[in-house]
């Protein structure tokens, strides 16, 4: 009988521990901390800042905003 009560109490504790995993997930990053994640250094590219600069240079040469993804024209003279 003693083993049964110990086993039931252990299973109750295990059940309670497993139930805590079902709680709702709260966002870990606060809205005012998200600007740190939007830094170009945090991008998937190896050289995020250099890629951003190259996109800027390409846009200036094409004389069109967003020229890296669509059709843009221009001589590049400002």
Mean pLDDT of 12-23: 83
Residue 11 confidence (pLDDT): 95
Mean pLDDT of 39-66: 74
Distance CA 57, CA 68 (A): 10
Residue 12 confidence (pLDDT): 93
Token output for 58 = 């390409």
Determine contact, residues 74/66, Cβ cutoff 8 Å.
no
Q: Which domain holds residue 39?
A: 35-66
- The answer on pLDDT for 70 being more than 70 is no
pLDDT averaged over every residue in the chain: 74
**Length of the chain in terms of residues written:** 78
Whether residue 3 lies inside any domain: the answer is no
Whether residue 15 lies inside any domain: the answer is no
Token output for 74 = 């221009």
- The answer on pLDDT for 71 being more than 50 is no
In the chain, the number of structural domains is 1
């Amino acid at each position: 009988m003693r083993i049964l009560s110990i086993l039931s109490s252990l299973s109750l504790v295990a059940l309670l521990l497993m139930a805590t995993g079902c709680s709702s997930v709260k966002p870990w990053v606060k809205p005012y901390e998200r600007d740190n994640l939007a830094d170009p250094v945090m991008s998937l590219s190896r050289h995020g800042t250099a890629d951003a600069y190259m996109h800027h240079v390409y846009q200036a040469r094409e004389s069109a905003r967003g020229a890296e993804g669509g059709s843009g024209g221009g001589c590049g003279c400002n």
